[in-house]
Each structure stands twice: as C-alpha cells, then as structure tokens.
C-alpha cells in the first residue's frame, strides 16, 4: 500500500480576475522508501503538489491520502497534528528557528510532540551525528554555514521518524559542492535507513540522484520515470 | 385685638338692649382705652415646660403698649414695646433692642400661646366681620352667641369666629376656626372683678385646640385706669428705663 | 522548561534594546500607579481619620428624633453618667458631649442666623481635635486666635467667613439671641477668641463654637445635651462593631425622657452616608487611574508585539508547518508578552518601592502658603501629605502590568495564529 495516494488533485488560485490552474487532476502514488523528485519549470505546480501532500494547503478538488488518512477530512488543527506526527519538512533556506541551537532545532518537533527532554536530546544528538554535525549541537543557526543549516533542517525532519520527508528546493541556496553533499546525505539516509523523500526541485544534481523523477508541466504530470 | 393686657371700660353700661355692634366693639375695646397701668401674671403650660411670668404693663390709646417682665429672674427686665404694628423687645442682659422681624411675628411671645402677631394685630370683630346672632339673653338670663365671618377685604387668618358673651355684655368665650371649619383655639374669660370703677373678667385663658393639655392663662393682679401715663413711656429710649 | 517559553524568552532578547525600552515604559507606568495608590492610601487614610476624628466620631448617641429634626428639646439627660460609662468601655478611645442650637448672632449693625455648637474643650482636645479647626494663621495675616478656654468664660469661636460677613475681629463682642427652652428670649454677650477655617461651608460661614455650659445657659437647657459622640479605640471594623454592640448596655436609665422617643446609636456611615460613599469612591478612582495608565502601557505592548510578530512572519510560518497548532502560536506570543511584563514588573516594583519610600518619608507639601493645611469639607488636612503602604499598592500594579500586557498581546497573537504557513514561508 502506498504511503501517499493522490487522486484527481486540482488546485486553482484566483489572481485578480484570472484563475490560475496550478494543478490539474493529478494522480500519484508514493511508496515507502522512495527518493522521488518533482521537477518542472517555475509555475509547473511542483511546490503546490508538495504543499498539498504536506497538508499545508487545501486542494480545490481531489484527495491526498497519507498513510490511509484523507487530509480533506481533517480540520486545520488535525492537519497540524498530522504534520507534526507523520511528516518531515525541509524548506528552501533559513527555515531554522534562529533562537534555538542546532540540537534544539533538531528536537523541536519532538518537543512539540511532548517527548521527554532527555529522550529527545538523545535523539537530536543522534540525528545531528547522522548528518555529520557532531560537535556543533550548541551552535545557533547564525553560527552555521548554509550547508550546515540545511543539514540541521534535514536532521529536524528526520528526528521524528516521519513517514515521508518533503523537501522544497533544499539545495537552491547552497553552492554546488555543499548541495551535492546534502543530496548525498539524504540519499544515504534513504538507502541505509529507508527514509522516504519527495523533492520539489530543478537542481540537476537532485534529479541525478533521484530514483524516480516526475515531470510536471502546467499542473499536469508530463513524465513519470523510475530509474 | 383680644389680648387683654389692657382692659377698659365698656363705657356704655346701662342701656337696656345693646346693638350687636356695640357688644362687639365692647369686646374689641376690652383691651383698649385712654390709659392704664397694671400688673399681670402669665401662667404657661406646655408639653415641655410650665412657668409663671409676672409683668408690669402700661397702655395708652388704642395702639400703644409697654410690657416689662418682673419675674422669673432669668427674664426680668425684658421689655416689649408695641406701637401700632411694630414690636420691639429690649434685652437688658445684652442691652439690646431688637425689632421683631416679620418672619418672627407668628412666633410665640415669651413662650406663651400668644403670638407676636396677636400683640399687634388690630383687626376688629366689630369691623372686619359680618355676624349672625345665634342666641340672645332674656333679660339677665342666658347669653349672646354670635357667629362671625370675616369680610372679604379683612386681613384675617380665621375662617370663622364664634363669640359668647354673658348677659352682662362681658365676653365669656371666643372660638377661632380655620378655613376648613376646624377649631384652632379657644379663649375664655372668667373671674369678673372690680378694678376701680370698672368691672371686668380678671382671668383670660388661651387654649390651643391641638394640644389639649397646654394653655396660657393671664390673671390681672392690679389694674389702674386713673394714673396718667405719659407719652414718652412708649418710646425706644424708655424701653431701657 | 517548555520549548515555547524558551523561545519566547530568547525572542525577547533578539531586540534587547526595544524590549528593554518597552519594559521600562511599562515599569514607569507601574511605578506611577504604585505611587498614586500610595498617595491614595495616605490621603484617604488621613481623610478617614480626620473625618471621623473631627467631623463625625465613630458613633453618635442622640435622641431618636435629633438626627432628622435637630429640635431643641431632642436632648439626652444624665450626659455626665453616660460619658463616664463610655470612658470605661475598652472599645472606646474617648467620648464628648455636645449641645446644638440656632441663634441670631451679631453686633448692633449686622447679624446672621448661626448654628451654635457647644463643646467641652478639655474633652474635645483629648478626643476629637476640634481645636485644629482654628488654624495657626489666616490669609492676609489675620490673627486666628485660639480655641475656647477649658472653663466657660462666655467665649465664642466663629467661622472665618462669618467674621468677615459680620465685620468683626478677635476681641469683639457678639450678642446671641435665641428662643430658649422655656420659650423665653435667651440672650448673651460673648467675646470672640478664635476664628475657624475648616472648609466646612456650613460652619465657616454660619457656625460658632461655644463652651457647652455657656450654650446650655443660653438655651436654658440645664444639664441636657443633644449629642454624645464616641471615638472607637481603633478604626478597625471589629472594634467599631464591638463598640456598637456594647453601647446599648452602657446607656444610663433616664437618658431619654420623652415617652415617644428612644436613644439612637448611629455609626458614622449612617450619619454621613455621603462620606461613607466617598470612602468607597476611592476604589473607583483608583481603578480609573489603573485603567488609564495600563491602557497606555497596553498600547506600547501592542506596538512592540505587532512588530515582533511581523518581523517573524516567515519563522512563524515554518513553526506552523512543522506542526505547532494555532493555539500554540498564540501561546508563543503570549509567553513573550508575559515575560516582557514580568521583566517590567520587576523593574517597576523596584522603582515604585523607591517612590513609595519617598512619599512615606518626605511626602508632598499641601500647604496654602504659610505652612497651613488645607481645610476641605470640614476636615483640616495637615500641611504635608504622606503616602501610605499597602499590599494593594504592589499587587494591583503588578497584576495591571501583566494583565494589560497579555491583553495587548492577544491581538498580535491571534494575527500570528491565523498566518497561512505557505504564504508565511514565502514572505520576505
């Protein structure tokens, strides 16, 4: 059974007088352990699709089912709960909480879940070590490089053992080498630990690493290639 | 009017059948005369106090009177002068002469049931009222009962007055009623005595209708209609004597 | 410690200077309201004391008709025995008897209808301080003289305004004329020995004090008095209540000799409900001050918190995306306001305590020129007003600053909670 099932998903924005069809009747299944990239030109709907899967946005039509739960049936609060309990997010940049240390950022979701302090601290240290940031636990985001910050973001997404990690252009603000390292890291987490990733990206390096590339054009799936 | 500090001769003694006007005039002038000197005792009983005041009195003509208190000691020397409608009190303790202001005219005179107004009011039964004779004496028996109503022009507070006189033409009782026909006070005369060649009631009592246990009674101890009373007696200067 | 609280605390220091300035402004408001409450404590305290001491007493005993009719005959008999019994009551600090009358008072040329109060000066001095109504100086260098001598000597103390109306001065003689208890004309000459200025219009313009033996003589009242007033051993409600309970048993036989009357025992709040009400007004006045001060504080907090929320739109969006429920966002902002207000409360308490200490020791001068206290409504205030101290002076401003900050932060907090995460993350 797929972790994420998308059926007939449409999202229309109203921009002034115009209606923008960001997504048109998309059907998609994501299985556990996938490392999937959503690609396409700007405005093709890849971020919209990612936000809908993450419950950050509500569809105009169609359904998103995550681990058997239809997001459309959930209240805003329950969607918050689902994100906290079952999903991981990595955003483009600067998505760490600046007043919290690397470790505190990493354990943030666990803290929201009410996990005891000692347990979550241990977990935070473990995931930071996993992403190669051992020794930098007490640094604030401002004291970390862009790549290190994104690693913290990955660690945070990972810490809660989510069903899926959704990453929106994670390498967009990183230099080529750092971006490459981050992709390697996520790939390794995927192969070694079985973490499921879905990316929205147009970074060729990500596309190279992805095992499934879904190409969106004008809000519709144009290609869906598995390697 | 009827306050009897001064009494005088009725003057028309022997005519067999007086007119009602003559009777009333006689009652009016019971307190007026050419001149008089005398001493009276005033006994006041109220809910609050009971006391006796002795006073000397002088009068001349119809509207000049001087009264000086002899006892009790606390009030001794307090002198009241009435000239026409004016009333002054002289207070020896503080050597003050105080004219009784209009607002105080309805107040009690010396704690009695006689008001300051009673002292100066000169309305006359014989002139300010119309009358109906209710009873007439038969010879020396019986009495006069005359009901009086104020004329429209009269400055009188009463709604009705009922006067009772003896066959001897001397007043016995006058009842004063208010505008709603309720009795306000009763004046009674008694104890007819001879003072010189005048024969008059020597006791006079004022009884307020609403305080049955209260009264003020005057009693004449001395009355002299002969001794001349000089005019200067009734001046502000003589108040202090 | 909850992570939201940690975040709120650290957020506060992201713009340390702004937070400190806001906290300082809040602290100033708080210190201000603390001083105002302290002054209210002091002012209403002294007002109550003086009002009860000089004007009303704690309890008055009268003929039952006297409070409304004030009649000459509405008297108490055996006042001496009543006073000595009252002196023996443990709940009583002291008692005085007074005689009241009306008279025409004046010279050959001018006179006025005047309210006469007969007092026993030696007793009053120990109990009511009525002597204080004669000030130590008067405008224009007029000599106010002194209060009545202890023994009756046909002395009179009259209101300053009355003296001006009658064109008399110290040493002049005044004649009082009245109807005495026997219906006679009570009259006597008195020498002016003092002028009062108590701010009690009725007494200053048309009142006079006499030795009560002199007034009894004028009114021919023998040994009767109109009023016995008692000061309780303390102003505490239970002591006054105890006094009220003890009084009926302390009344001698024959106190009231009218068959249709009884003795009235009236506490001050029944005698002067307006005064009692004024004492209660204090609460409203104080509340108004707090509302104004903390209304201003709240405006400052709204501004600071709105800025704080606006600057962090993106960050709040991320936090929301990570799964913090809207209610959690509200708490995050409220925690920040709470911590800010606690910081302000700390600074404010220190500042306010300093101001209260100043007000309690140095006070505020209230003199009208020559070191003379102001007379108002029959109470003569001291020339310096001192602040008081109470638990309220601390608790109310602290609650005020915290609650106003939380209330003010609610708007920015709700605004933050309503942020749409997608839009918020995309912002900037």
Interchain contact, A77 vs C11, CB within 8 Å: no
Q: Kind and range of the H or E element at A28?
A: strand A18-30
- For an interface test with C, give the residue of A85, A99, A156 to mutate (most C CBs within 10 A): A99
Give the ranges where B29-180 is alpha helix by DSSP (H): 116-120, 125-128
Q: Chains touching chain C at 3 or more Cβ pairs under 8 angstroms? A: A, B
Chain mean pLDDT for chain B: 80
CB contact under 8 A, C185 and B94: no
Per-residue pLDDT, averaged over B206-218, amounts to 91
Closest Cβ–Cβ partner in A97, A104, A109 for C315: A97
**Is the peptide bond between B72 and the residue preceding it cis, with omega within 30 degrees of 0?**
yes
Comparing A15 with B9, the larger pLDDT belongs to: A15
pLDDT 10s digits, C117-161: 999 998 888 888 788 788 877 777 788 889 999 999 999 999 989
B97 interfacial to chain C (CB closer than 8 Å): no
Domain locations in chain B as residue ranges: 20-240
Provide the CATH topology of domain A33-59+73-226. Rossmann fold (3.40.50)
pLDDT, tens only, C185-226: 888 999 999 998 877 778 888 999 999 999 999 999 888 999
Dist. CA C131–CA C54, nearest whole Å: 9
Q: If you search the block for the tokens 């309990």, which residue do you land on?
A: A85
Q: Which residue has the higher pLDDT, C208 or B151?
A: C208
Listed as own residue / partner, the contacts of B131-134 with beta carbons closer than 8 Å and 24 or more positions apart are: B131/B20, B131/B24, B133/B20, B134/B162
Chains that touch A (3 or more CB pairs under 8 A): C
Question: Does residue C368 or residue C371 have the better pLDDT?
Answer: C368
So what CATH class is B20-240?
Answer: mainly beta
Find the mean pLDDT for residues C75-99.
89
Which residues of C fall within a CB distance of 8 Å from B46?
Answer: 183
Least confident window among B100-104, C86-90, C222-226, C229-233: B100-104
Q: How far apart are CA A144 and CA A135, in angstroms?
A: 12
State whether C184 and B108 contact (CB < 8 Å). Answer: no
Which stretch of B21-25, B81-85, B120-124 has the lowest confidence by average pLDDT? B120-124
Question: With touching defined as 3+ CB pairs under 8 A, do chains B and C touch?
Answer: yes
Q: Which residue of C has its CA nearest to A165?
A: C322
In this prediction, the answer to ipTM > 0.85 reads: yes
Query: Which of C323, B159, C15 shows the shortest CA–CA distance to A112?
Result: C323
Contact C187 B91 (CB under 8 A): yes
Closest CA to A123 of A158, A147, A81: A158
Partnered with residue B53 across adjacent β-strands are: B42
pLDDT at position C372 is 55
C113 has a pLDDT exceeding 70: yes
Q: Rounded to the nearest 5°, which phi and psi values hold at C70?
A: 50, 40
* Range of weakest confidence among A79-88, A104-113, C46-55, C352-361: C46-55
CB proximity C322 to A under 8 Å: yes
Residue B95 has pLDDT above 90, yes or no: no
Any C CB within 8 A of B108 CB:
yes
Q: Nearest by CB to B48, which of C73, C104, C189?
A: C73
**Are C323 and A76 within 8 A, CB to CB?**
no
Average of pLDDT values for A50-68? 91
User: Does residue B224 sit in helix, strand or coil?
Assistant: strand
For chain A positions 114-153, those within 8 Å of chain C (CB to CB) are none
User: Could you tell me how many CB contacts below 8 A there are between chain B and chain C?
Assistant: 44
How far does A133 lie from chain C, in Å, by closest CA? 21
Over residues A3-30, mean pLDDT: 89
Please count the other Cβ atoms lying within 10 Å of the Cβ belonging to residue B134: 13
Residue A9's pLDDT band (cuts 50, 70, 90): very high
């Amino acid at each position: 059974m797929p972790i994420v099932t998308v059926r007939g998903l449409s999202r229309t924005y109203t921009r002034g007088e115009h209606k923008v069809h960001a997504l048109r009747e998309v059907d998609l299944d994501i299985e556990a352990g996938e490392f999937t990239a959503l690609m396409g030109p700007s405005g093709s709907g890849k971020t919209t699709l990612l936000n809908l899967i993450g419950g950050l946005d509500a569809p105009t039509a169609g359904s998103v089912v995550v681990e058997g739960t239809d997001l459309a049936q959930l209240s805003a609060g329950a969607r918050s709960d689902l994100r906290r309990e079952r999903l991981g997010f990595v955003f483009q940049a600067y998505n760490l909480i600046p007043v919290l240390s690397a470790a505190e950022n990493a354990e943030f979701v666990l803290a929201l879940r009410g996990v005891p302090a000692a347990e979550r601290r241990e977990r935070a240290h473990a995931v930071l070590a996993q992403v190669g940031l051992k020794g930098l636990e007490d640094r604030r985001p401002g004291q970390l490089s862009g790549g290190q910050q994104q690693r913290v973001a990955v660690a945070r997404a990972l810490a809660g053992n989510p069903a899926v990690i959704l990453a929106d252009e994670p390498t967009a603000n990183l230099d080529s080498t750092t971006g490459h390292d981050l992709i390697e890291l996520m790939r390794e987490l995927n192969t070694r630990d079985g973490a499921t990733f879905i990316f929205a990206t147009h970074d060729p390096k990500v596309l190279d690493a992805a095992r499934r590339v879904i190409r969106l054009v004008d809000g519709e799936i144009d290609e869906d290639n598995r390697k | 009017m009827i306050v009897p500090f001064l009494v005088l001769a009725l003057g028309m003694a022997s005519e067999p059948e007086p007119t009602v006007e003559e009777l009333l005039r006689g009652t009016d002038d019971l307190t007026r005369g050419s001149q008089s000197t005398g001493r009276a005792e005033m006994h006041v009983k109220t809910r609050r106090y009971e006391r006796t005041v002795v006073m000397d009195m002088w009068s001349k003509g119809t509207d000049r009177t001087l009264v000086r208190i002899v006892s009790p000691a606390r009030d001794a020397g307090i002198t009241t002068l009435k000239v026409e409608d004016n009333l002054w009190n002289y207070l020896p303790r503080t050597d003050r002469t105080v004219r009784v202001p209009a607002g105080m005219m309805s107040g009690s005179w010396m704690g009695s049931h006689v008001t300051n107004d009673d002292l100066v009011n000169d309305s006359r039964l014989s002139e300010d009222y119309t009358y109906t004779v209710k009873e007439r004496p038969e010879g020396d028996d019986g009495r006069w009962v005359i009901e009086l109503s104020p004329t429209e022009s009269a400055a009188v507070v009463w709604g009705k007055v009922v006067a009772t006189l003896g066959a001897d033409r001397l007043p016995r009782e006058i009842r004063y009623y208010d505008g709603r026909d309720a009795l306000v006070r009763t004046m009674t005369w008694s104890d007819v005595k001879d003072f010189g060649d005048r024969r008059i009631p020597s006791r006079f009592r004022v009884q307020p209708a609403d305080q049955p246990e209260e009264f003020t009674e005057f009693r004449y101890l001395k009355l002299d209609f002969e001794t001349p009373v000089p005019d200067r007696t009734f001046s502000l200067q003589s108040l202090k004597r | 410690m909850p992570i939201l609280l940690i975040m709120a605390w650290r957020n506060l220091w992201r713009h340390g200077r702004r937070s400190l300035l806001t906290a300082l402004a809040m602290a100033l408001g708080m210190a201000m309201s603390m001083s105002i409450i302290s002054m209210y404590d002091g002012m209403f305290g002294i007002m109550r004391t003086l009002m009860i001491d000089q004007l009303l007493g704690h309890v008055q005993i009268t003929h039952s008709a006297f409070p409304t009719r004030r009649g000459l005959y509405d008297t108490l008999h055996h006042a001496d025995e009543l006073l000595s019994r009252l002196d023996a009551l443990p709940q009583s600090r002291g008692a005085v008897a007074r005689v009241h009358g009306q008279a025409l008072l004046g010279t050959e040329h001018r006179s006025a209808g005047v309210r006469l109060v007969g007092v026993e000066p030696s007793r009053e001095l120990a109990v009511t301080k009525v002597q204080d109504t004669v000030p130590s100086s008067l405008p224009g260098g007029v000599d106010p003289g002194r209060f009545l001598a202890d023994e009756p000597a046909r002395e009179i103390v009259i209101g300053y305004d009355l003296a001006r109306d009658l064109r008399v001065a110290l040493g002049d003689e005044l004649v009082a004329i009245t109807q005495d208890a026997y219906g006679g004309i009570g009259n006597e000459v008195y020498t002016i020995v003092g002028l009062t200025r108590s701010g009690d219009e009725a007494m200053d313009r048309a009142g006079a004090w006499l030795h009560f033996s002199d007034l009894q003589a004028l009114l021919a009242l023998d040994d009767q008095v109109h009023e016995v007033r008692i000061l309780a051993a303390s102003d505490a409600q239970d002591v006054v209540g105890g006094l009220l309970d003890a009084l009926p048993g302390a009344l001698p036989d024959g106190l009231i000799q009218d068959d249709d009357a009884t003795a009235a025992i009236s506490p001050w709040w029944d005698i002067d409900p307006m005064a009692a009400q004024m004492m209660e007004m204090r609460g409203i006045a104080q509340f108004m001050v707090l509302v104004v001060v903390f209304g201003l504080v709240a405006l400052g907090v709204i501004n600071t918190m709105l800025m704080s929320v606006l600057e962090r739109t993106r960050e709040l969006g991320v936090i929301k995306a990570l799964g913090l429920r809207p209610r959690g966002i509200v708490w995050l902002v409220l925690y920040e306001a709470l911590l800010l207000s606690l910081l302000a409360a700390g600074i404010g308490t220190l500042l306010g305590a300093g101001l209260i200490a100043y007000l309690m020791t140095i006070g505020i001068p209230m003199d009208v020129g020559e070191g003379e206290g102001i007379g108002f409504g029959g109470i003569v205030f001291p020339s310096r007003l001192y602040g008081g101290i109470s638990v309220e002076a601390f608790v109310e401003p602290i609650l005020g600053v915290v609650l106003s900050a939380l209330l003010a932060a609610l708007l920015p907090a709700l605004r933050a909670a309503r942020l749409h995460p997608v839009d918020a993350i995309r912002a900037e």
